[in-house]
Amino acid sequence: MEGAPQGTGYVVNLDEKLGRIDEHWKPRVVAQMNDYQFKLVKICGDFVWHSHADTDETFFVIDGEVRIDLRGGPVVIRAGELFVVPKGVEHKPYAEHEASIMLIEPCGVLNTGDARNERTAQNDMWL
């Protein structure tokens, strides 16, 4: 867990961490629990259609509003709400205005899942 705090536990101030993010679509790990990472990301605009074959993905909206497009229709998540995309389900996040999100997913999951393109972020980047 390079970059992760060591010891008996740690406090993560989400506002402080979000204040250090100045790029969209670049998730940064802020905590890890067992094999799960908590990643903060700011988004704006459209992402890419993708899926994660082996894991669910949780989107927790901290600030703003996010639409998760699904092949069966969109889901809108507002600040204070979360949505779990089941494994294997194709989805595409979108935010008309900047939104701050916490992603909760297993270690090693790429932000673009099965799609590789200019939006694929380096994995395991700690903030």
Beta-strand relationship, 75-78 and 28-33? unpaired
Q: pLDDT grade, residue 3 (50/70/90)?
A: low
Task: Indicate the pTM of the whole model.
Answer: 0.90
* Residue 1 scores a pLDDT above 50: no
According to DSSP, the residues that pair with 69 across neighbouring strands are: 92
3-state SS record for the chain: CCCCCCCCCCCCCHHHHHHCCCCECCCEEEEEECCEEEEEEEEEEECCCECCCCCCEEEEEEECEEEEEECCCCEEEECCCEEEECCCCCEEEEEEEEEEEEEEEECCCCCCCCCCCCCCCCCCCEC
* Residue 17 scores a pLDDT above 50: yes
Structural domains in the chain plus CATH codes: 21-106 (2.60.120.10)
Going from the C-alpha of 49 to that of each of 29, 71, 113, the distances in angstroms are: 22, 10, 9
Contact indicator for 59, 24 with CB cutoff of 8 Å: no
* Residue 76 scores a pLDDT above 90: yes
Residue 13 has phi, psi (to 5 degrees) of -90, 105
- pLDDT of 58: 97
